[in-house]
Amino acid sequence: MGTLVLLGCEQPAPPPAESTLVRALAVQMTQFDRTTALTGEIRARRESNLGFRVGGKVTERPVDVGDKVAEGDLLARLDNQDQLNALQAAQSDLAAAQASIEQSRTQAERQRKLLADGYTTRIQYDNAQRRYAQAQAELAGAEAKLNSAQDTLSYTELRADRAGVITAKAAEPGQVVASGQMVVRLADPNEREAVFQVPGAGLRIDGRQADLPQVEVRLVSDQNLIADGTIREVSPGVDPVTRTYTVKVALTDPPPAFLLGSSVVGRAKLPTQSVINLPSSALFQTAAGEPAVWVVDQPQDTVSLRPVSVLQYDTGTVTVTSGLDTGETVVIGGSQKLRPGQKVTIRQGSGA
Protein backbone atom coordinates (compact mmCIF):
# COMPACT_ATOMS: atom_id res chain seq x y z
CA MET A 1 0.00 0.00 0.00
CA GLY A 2 2.85 2.33 0.85
CA THR A 3 4.40 1.61 -2.51
CA LEU A 4 1.30 2.82 -4.26
CA VAL A 5 1.33 6.08 -2.28
CA LEU A 6 4.93 6.79 -3.22
CA LEU A 7 4.23 6.19 -6.87
CA GLY A 8 1.30 8.55 -6.78
CA CYS A 9 3.42 11.36 -5.35
CA GLU A 10 5.98 11.33 -8.16
CA GLN A 11 5.72 14.40 -10.50
CA PRO A 12 5.99 13.76 -14.26
CA ALA A 13 9.00 15.31 -16.00
CA PRO A 14 8.09 18.59 -17.82
CA PRO A 15 7.90 18.19 -21.60
CA PRO A 16 10.68 19.79 -23.59
CA ALA A 17 9.89 23.32 -24.80
CA GLU A 18 8.59 23.34 -28.35
CA SER A 19 10.98 24.91 -30.83
CA THR A 20 9.86 26.61 -34.04
CA LEU A 21 11.91 26.09 -37.18
CA VAL A 22 12.82 29.41 -38.79
CA ARG A 23 15.15 30.84 -41.38
CA ALA A 24 17.45 33.56 -40.11
CA LEU A 25 20.14 35.94 -41.30
CA ALA A 26 23.09 37.56 -39.54
CA VAL A 27 22.83 41.19 -40.51
CA GLN A 28 25.69 43.31 -41.81
CA MET A 29 25.96 47.09 -41.96
CA THR A 30 26.56 48.60 -45.40
CA GLN A 31 26.95 52.11 -46.77
CA PHE A 32 23.95 53.34 -48.68
CA ASP A 33 24.82 55.51 -51.66
CA ARG A 34 21.98 58.00 -51.75
CA THR A 35 22.55 59.41 -55.21
CA THR A 36 19.16 60.06 -56.79
CA ALA A 37 18.57 60.57 -60.52
CA LEU A 38 15.14 61.49 -61.83
CA THR A 39 13.66 62.87 -65.03
CA GLY A 40 11.71 66.11 -64.91
CA GLU A 41 10.98 69.16 -67.01
CA ILE A 42 11.78 72.85 -67.17
CA ARG A 43 8.99 75.15 -66.05
CA ALA A 44 8.62 78.82 -65.31
CA ARG A 45 8.85 79.78 -61.68
CA ARG A 46 6.17 82.42 -62.21
CA GLU A 47 3.17 81.05 -64.05
CA SER A 48 -0.36 82.50 -63.94
CA ASN A 49 -3.73 81.24 -65.10
CA LEU A 50 -5.43 84.25 -66.69
CA GLY A 51 -9.19 84.66 -67.15
CA PHE A 52 -11.87 87.31 -67.62
CA ARG A 53 -13.30 89.18 -64.66
CA VAL A 54 -16.76 88.82 -66.26
CA GLY A 55 -18.43 85.93 -68.02
CA GLY A 56 -19.41 85.82 -71.66
CA LYS A 57 -18.83 84.39 -75.13
CA VAL A 58 -15.28 84.41 -76.45
CA THR A 59 -15.14 86.16 -79.82
CA GLU A 60 -11.37 86.33 -80.30
CA ARG A 61 -8.20 84.70 -78.97
CA PRO A 62 -5.29 85.98 -81.08
CA VAL A 63 -2.56 84.10 -79.16
CA ASP A 64 -1.59 80.43 -79.14
CA VAL A 65 0.68 78.19 -77.11
CA GLY A 66 4.29 79.21 -77.51
CA ASP A 67 3.58 82.82 -78.48
CA LYS A 68 5.61 85.54 -76.79
CA VAL A 69 3.58 88.52 -75.59
CA ALA A 70 4.45 91.93 -74.17
CA GLU A 71 2.78 93.68 -71.29
CA GLY A 72 -0.62 94.97 -72.37
CA ASP A 73 -0.99 92.72 -75.43
CA LEU A 74 -4.49 91.45 -76.18
CA LEU A 75 -4.89 87.78 -75.27
CA ALA A 76 -8.65 87.29 -75.76
CA ARG A 77 -11.88 89.24 -76.16
CA LEU A 78 -15.53 88.65 -75.19
CA ASP A 79 -18.73 89.69 -76.92
CA ASN A 80 -19.24 93.12 -75.29
CA GLN A 81 -22.69 94.14 -76.56
CA ASP A 82 -24.29 93.91 -73.10
CA GLN A 83 -21.50 95.97 -71.58
CA LEU A 84 -21.81 98.60 -74.35
CA ASN A 85 -25.55 98.88 -73.68
CA ALA A 86 -24.89 99.31 -69.97
CA LEU A 87 -22.29 101.99 -70.75
CA GLN A 88 -24.70 103.92 -72.97
CA ALA A 89 -27.37 103.75 -70.26
CA ALA A 90 -24.89 105.07 -67.70
CA GLN A 91 -23.89 107.91 -70.03
CA SER A 92 -27.57 108.86 -70.47
CA ASP A 93 -28.13 108.81 -66.70
CA LEU A 94 -25.11 111.06 -66.26
CA ALA A 95 -26.38 113.55 -68.84
CA ALA A 96 -29.77 113.67 -67.12
CA ALA A 97 -28.13 114.18 -63.74
CA GLN A 98 -26.00 117.02 -65.11
CA ALA A 99 -29.09 118.75 -66.55
CA SER A 100 -30.96 118.28 -63.29
CA ILE A 101 -28.19 119.74 -61.18
CA GLU A 102 -27.89 122.77 -63.43
CA GLN A 103 -31.60 123.42 -63.16
CA SER A 104 -31.70 122.95 -59.39
CA ARG A 105 -28.62 125.13 -58.93
CA THR A 106 -30.25 127.99 -60.88
CA GLN A 107 -33.45 127.67 -58.86
CA ALA A 108 -31.56 127.63 -55.57
CA GLU A 109 -29.65 130.80 -56.56
CA ARG A 110 -32.88 132.57 -57.60
CA GLN A 111 -34.59 131.66 -54.34
CA ARG A 112 -31.60 133.01 -52.40
CA LYS A 113 -31.87 136.43 -54.11
CA LEU A 114 -35.68 136.53 -53.72
CA LEU A 115 -35.38 135.69 -50.06
CA ALA A 116 -32.88 138.51 -49.58
CA ASP A 117 -35.32 140.98 -51.26
CA GLY A 118 -38.29 139.63 -49.31
CA TYR A 119 -40.17 138.23 -52.31
CA THR A 120 -40.18 134.51 -51.27
CA THR A 121 -40.63 132.50 -48.14
CA ARG A 122 -38.00 130.63 -46.13
CA ILE A 123 -39.77 127.35 -46.86
CA GLN A 124 -39.50 127.80 -50.63
CA TYR A 125 -35.83 128.69 -50.27
CA ASP A 126 -35.14 125.56 -48.13
CA ASN A 127 -36.97 123.33 -50.64
CA ALA A 128 -34.82 124.69 -53.48
CA GLN A 129 -31.66 124.00 -51.48
CA ARG A 130 -32.80 120.40 -50.79
CA ARG A 131 -33.52 119.80 -54.48
CA TYR A 132 -30.05 121.10 -55.33
CA ALA A 133 -28.39 118.79 -52.75
CA GLN A 134 -30.39 115.85 -54.06
CA ALA A 135 -29.32 116.64 -57.62
CA GLN A 136 -25.68 116.71 -56.48
CA ALA A 137 -26.05 113.25 -54.94
CA GLU A 138 -27.72 111.92 -58.09
CA LEU A 139 -24.86 113.32 -60.18
CA ALA A 140 -22.26 111.59 -57.98
CA GLY A 141 -24.18 108.29 -58.30
CA ALA A 142 -24.41 108.64 -62.10
CA GLU A 143 -20.68 109.32 -62.34
CA ALA A 144 -19.93 106.21 -60.24
CA LYS A 145 -22.20 104.06 -62.40
CA LEU A 146 -20.49 105.38 -65.54
CA ASN A 147 -17.05 104.51 -64.13
CA SER A 148 -18.29 101.05 -63.21
CA ALA A 149 -19.74 100.52 -66.70
CA GLN A 150 -16.45 101.60 -68.29
CA ASP A 151 -14.51 99.19 -66.06
CA THR A 152 -16.90 96.33 -66.90
CA LEU A 153 -16.47 97.05 -70.60
CA SER A 154 -12.69 96.91 -70.21
CA TYR A 155 -13.03 93.51 -68.49
CA THR A 156 -14.24 92.04 -71.79
CA GLU A 157 -10.65 92.30 -73.04
CA LEU A 158 -8.04 90.00 -71.51
CA ARG A 159 -4.59 91.58 -71.68
CA ALA A 160 -1.16 90.42 -70.48
CA ASP A 161 -0.21 91.90 -67.12
CA ARG A 162 3.48 91.28 -67.90
CA ALA A 163 5.71 90.04 -70.69
CA GLY A 164 5.90 86.27 -71.03
CA VAL A 165 5.11 83.14 -73.03
CA ILE A 166 1.75 81.44 -73.46
CA THR A 167 2.15 77.89 -72.13
CA ALA A 168 -1.46 76.66 -72.22
CA LYS A 169 -4.91 77.59 -73.53
CA ALA A 170 -8.30 76.56 -72.18
CA ALA A 171 -10.87 78.44 -74.28
CA GLU A 172 -11.65 78.78 -77.97
CA PRO A 173 -13.60 81.44 -79.91
CA GLY A 174 -17.32 80.74 -79.60
CA GLN A 175 -16.98 79.19 -76.15
CA VAL A 176 -18.90 80.68 -73.22
CA VAL A 177 -16.68 81.12 -70.18
CA ALA A 178 -17.45 82.00 -66.57
CA SER A 179 -15.88 84.78 -64.57
CA GLY A 180 -12.41 83.73 -63.43
CA GLN A 181 -12.26 80.65 -65.67
CA MET A 182 -8.79 80.04 -67.11
CA VAL A 183 -8.44 81.15 -70.74
CA VAL A 184 -4.65 81.08 -71.15
CA ARG A 185 -1.62 80.43 -68.95
CA LEU A 186 1.16 83.01 -69.00
CA ALA A 187 4.68 82.12 -67.88
CA ASP A 188 7.76 84.25 -67.28
CA PRO A 189 10.60 82.59 -69.24
CA ASN A 190 13.29 84.58 -67.47
CA GLU A 191 12.90 82.62 -64.22
CA ARG A 192 13.15 78.90 -64.94
CA GLU A 193 13.26 75.92 -62.63
CA ALA A 194 13.32 72.13 -62.90
CA VAL A 195 10.33 70.21 -61.55
CA PHE A 196 10.50 66.53 -60.57
CA GLN A 197 8.04 63.96 -59.26
CA VAL A 198 9.91 62.13 -56.51
CA PRO A 199 8.79 58.91 -54.75
CA GLY A 200 8.30 59.25 -51.01
CA ALA A 201 11.44 57.26 -50.17
CA GLY A 202 13.57 59.78 -52.03
CA LEU A 203 12.48 62.59 -49.72
CA ARG A 204 13.98 61.29 -46.50
CA ILE A 205 16.41 64.22 -46.40
CA ASP A 206 17.33 64.61 -42.75
CA GLY A 207 14.05 66.21 -41.80
CA ARG A 208 14.01 68.47 -44.90
CA GLN A 209 15.18 71.38 -42.78
CA ALA A 210 18.91 70.70 -42.87
CA ASP A 211 21.21 71.80 -45.67
CA LEU A 212 19.66 70.45 -48.83
CA PRO A 213 21.92 68.88 -51.46
CA GLN A 214 22.99 70.55 -54.66
CA VAL A 215 21.30 69.18 -57.77
CA GLU A 216 23.02 68.75 -61.12
CA VAL A 217 20.52 69.21 -63.94
CA ARG A 218 21.33 68.01 -67.47
CA LEU A 219 19.35 68.45 -70.65
CA VAL A 220 18.12 65.08 -71.95
CA SER A 221 18.65 66.07 -75.57
CA ASP A 222 22.22 67.27 -74.88
CA GLN A 223 23.98 65.80 -71.84
CA ASN A 224 26.76 68.38 -72.18
CA LEU A 225 24.42 71.19 -71.17
CA ILE A 226 24.41 71.38 -67.37
CA ALA A 227 22.96 73.76 -64.79
CA ASP A 228 23.42 73.74 -61.03
CA GLY A 229 20.38 73.98 -58.83
CA THR A 230 19.13 73.89 -55.27
CA ILE A 231 15.93 72.40 -53.92
CA ARG A 232 13.65 75.35 -53.13
CA GLU A 233 10.32 73.63 -52.54
CA VAL A 234 8.98 70.19 -51.64
CA SER A 235 5.21 69.72 -51.80
CA PRO A 236 3.77 69.01 -48.35
CA GLY A 237 1.32 66.39 -49.66
CA VAL A 238 1.61 63.33 -51.87
CA ASP A 239 -0.12 63.17 -55.24
CA PRO A 240 -3.13 60.83 -54.78
CA VAL A 241 -2.64 59.22 -58.21
CA THR A 242 1.13 58.89 -58.65
CA ARG A 243 1.96 58.73 -54.91
CA THR A 244 4.87 61.09 -55.51
CA TYR A 245 5.93 64.49 -54.19
CA THR A 246 6.58 67.51 -56.38
CA VAL A 247 10.11 68.86 -55.94
CA LYS A 248 11.08 72.21 -57.47
CA VAL A 249 14.75 73.01 -58.11
CA ALA A 250 15.85 76.61 -58.62
CA LEU A 251 18.46 76.84 -61.40
CA THR A 252 21.56 79.04 -61.39
CA ASP A 253 22.22 80.64 -64.81
CA PRO A 254 20.58 77.91 -66.92
CA PRO A 255 21.74 77.75 -70.58
CA PRO A 256 19.38 79.26 -73.18
CA ALA A 257 18.68 75.73 -74.44
CA PHE A 258 16.82 75.01 -71.20
CA LEU A 259 13.53 76.00 -72.81
CA LEU A 260 10.18 75.72 -71.07
CA GLY A 261 8.96 72.13 -71.34
CA SER A 262 12.42 70.65 -71.99
CA SER A 263 13.09 67.24 -70.43
CA VAL A 264 15.97 67.17 -67.95
CA VAL A 265 17.67 64.68 -65.63
CA GLY A 266 18.44 65.80 -62.10
CA ARG A 267 21.02 64.12 -59.89
CA ALA A 268 21.31 64.83 -56.19
CA LYS A 269 24.18 63.37 -54.18
CA LEU A 270 23.06 62.91 -50.57
CA PRO A 271 25.46 62.00 -47.74
CA THR A 272 26.12 58.24 -47.48
CA GLN A 273 24.36 56.48 -44.65
CA SER A 274 24.98 53.24 -42.73
CA VAL A 275 22.07 50.87 -43.35
CA ILE A 276 21.10 47.21 -43.19
CA ASN A 277 19.39 45.56 -46.13
CA LEU A 278 16.88 42.83 -45.26
CA PRO A 279 14.45 40.68 -47.25
CA SER A 280 10.91 41.99 -47.10
CA SER A 281 9.88 38.75 -45.38
CA ALA A 282 11.83 39.86 -42.27
CA LEU A 283 9.56 42.85 -41.69
CA PHE A 284 6.85 42.46 -39.05
CA GLN A 285 4.49 44.93 -37.40
CA THR A 286 4.08 45.96 -33.78
CA ALA A 287 0.69 46.31 -32.10
CA ALA A 288 0.97 50.05 -32.76
CA GLY A 289 1.48 49.43 -36.49
CA GLU A 290 5.20 50.29 -36.50
CA PRO A 291 7.74 48.24 -38.52
CA ALA A 292 9.71 45.65 -36.53
CA VAL A 293 11.74 42.44 -36.94
CA TRP A 294 12.17 39.27 -34.86
CA VAL A 295 15.67 39.11 -33.38
CA VAL A 296 17.13 35.79 -32.20
CA ASP A 297 18.68 36.22 -28.74
CA GLN A 298 21.82 34.11 -28.23
CA PRO A 299 22.56 31.67 -26.69
CA GLN A 300 19.00 31.00 -25.52
CA ASP A 301 17.73 30.80 -29.12
CA THR A 302 14.63 32.78 -28.17
CA VAL A 303 13.12 35.63 -30.15
CA SER A 304 12.06 39.18 -29.31
CA LEU A 305 10.28 41.78 -31.41
CA ARG A 306 12.51 44.78 -32.18
CA PRO A 307 11.13 48.05 -33.67
CA VAL A 308 13.22 49.39 -36.57
CA SER A 309 13.33 52.51 -38.76
CA VAL A 310 12.88 51.88 -42.47
CA LEU A 311 14.48 54.23 -45.00
CA GLN A 312 12.88 52.78 -48.10
CA TYR A 313 10.92 49.84 -49.40
CA ASP A 314 12.07 48.13 -52.60
CA THR A 315 10.86 45.08 -54.48
CA GLY A 316 11.68 42.16 -52.21
CA THR A 317 13.89 44.15 -49.79
CA VAL A 318 13.75 46.85 -47.14
CA THR A 319 16.47 49.27 -46.05
CA VAL A 320 16.75 49.70 -42.27
CA THR A 321 18.59 52.65 -40.71
CA SER A 322 18.29 51.98 -36.98
CA GLY A 323 17.20 49.36 -34.48
CA LEU A 324 19.76 46.67 -35.37
CA ASP A 325 23.49 46.12 -34.90
CA THR A 326 25.97 44.25 -37.06
CA GLY A 327 26.08 40.54 -36.23
CA GLU A 328 22.58 40.27 -34.80
CA THR A 329 20.45 37.44 -36.16
CA VAL A 330 17.11 38.33 -37.68
CA VAL A 331 14.33 35.92 -38.62
CA ILE A 332 13.63 36.10 -42.33
CA GLY A 333 11.24 33.15 -42.70
CA GLY A 334 8.72 31.38 -40.47
CA SER A 335 7.83 34.39 -38.33
CA GLN A 336 4.06 34.05 -38.66
CA LYS A 337 3.63 31.98 -35.47
CA LEU A 338 6.32 33.58 -33.33
CA ARG A 339 5.68 35.25 -29.99
CA PRO A 340 8.09 37.03 -27.62
CA GLY A 341 10.27 34.50 -25.81
CA GLN A 342 9.52 31.74 -28.34
CA LYS A 343 12.35 29.21 -28.68
CA VAL A 344 13.44 28.69 -32.27
CA THR A 345 15.65 26.38 -34.27
CA ILE A 346 17.47 28.00 -37.15
CA ARG A 347 17.22 26.05 -40.35
CA GLN A 348 20.61 25.00 -41.67
CA GLY A 349 21.85 26.95 -44.67
CA SER A 350 19.60 29.94 -43.89
CA GLY A 351 22.56 32.31 -43.58
CA ALA A 352 22.79 32.65 -39.80
Q: Is 10 part of a structural domain of the chain?
A: no
Asked if 239 and 266 sit in the same domain, the reply is yes
User: Do 207 and 253 fall within a single domain?
Assistant: yes
pLDDT given for residue 352 in this prediction: 54
Which range marks the domain in which residue 317 is found?
A: 20-32+275-346
Q: Same structural domain for residues 246 and 258?
A: yes
Q: Is there a domain that residue 7 lies in?
A: no
pLDDT tens for residues 202-248?
A: 555 544 444 567 889 999 999 899 999 988 888 888 888 888 889 99
Closest-CA residue to 200 (of 248, 246, 152): 246
Q: Indicate the pairing of strand 309-314 with strand 317-322.
A: antiparallel
Query: Are 302 and 333 contained in the same domain?
Result: yes
Q: Identify whether residues 205 and 315 lie together within a single domain.
A: no
Which of 210, 214, 198, 203 shows the shortest CA–CA distance to 252? Answer: 214
Residue 342 included in any domain = yes
Q: Are residue 73 and residue 176 in the same domain, yes or no?
A: yes
Which of 108, 161, 95, 166 lies closest to 134, judged by CA?
108
Among 272, 305, 338, which residue terminates a domain? 272
pLDDT of residue 3: 44
Angle between helices 122-154 and 81-117 (to 10 degrees): 160
| Residue segments in the chain with a per-residue pLDDT below the cut of 50 | 1-10, 12-16, 206-210
Residues 290 and 323: their CA atoms lie apart, in Å, by 12
- The predicted-structure confidence for 60-105, as pLDDT tens digits, reads as follows 999 999 899 999 999 999 999 999 999 999 999 999 999 999 999 8
Kindly state whether residues 59 and 168 are assigned to the same domain.
yes
Whether 116 is in a domain gets the answer yes
What is the predicted pLDDT for the residue at 16? Answer: 46
* Each residue's pLDDT tens digit, 151-161: 999 999 999 99
Backbone angles phi, psi at 93, to 5 degrees: -65, -35
DSSP letter, residue 75? E
26 assigned to some structural domain = yes
Task: In whole angstroms, give the CA distance from residue 158 to residue 114.
Answer: 57
Per-residue DSSP letters for 7-73? Answer: HHHPPPPPPPPP-EEEEEEE---EEEEEEEEEEEEEEESSEEEE--SS-EEEEE----TT-EE-TT-
d(CA 236, CA 218): 26
Q: Is the backbone peptide bond immediately before 271 cis, with ω within 30 degrees of 0?
A: no
Whether 160 and 145 share a structural domain: no
Claim to verify: residue 229 and residue 196 sit in the same structural domain: yes
DSSP for 194-255, written as a single string: EEEEEEGGGG-SGGGTSPPPEEEEEETTEEEEEEEEEEEEE-SS--TTT-EEEEEEEEES--
Q: How many domains does the chain have?
A: 4
Cα distance between residue 48 and residue 348, in whole Å: 65
- The answer as to whether 9 is a domain residue is no
Alpha carbons within 13 angstroms on the beta-carbon side of residue 344 total 31
CB 50 within 8 A of CB 184: yes
Contact assessment for residue 18 and residue 177, using Cβ atoms and an 8 Å cutoff = no
Distance CA 3, CA 161 (A): 111
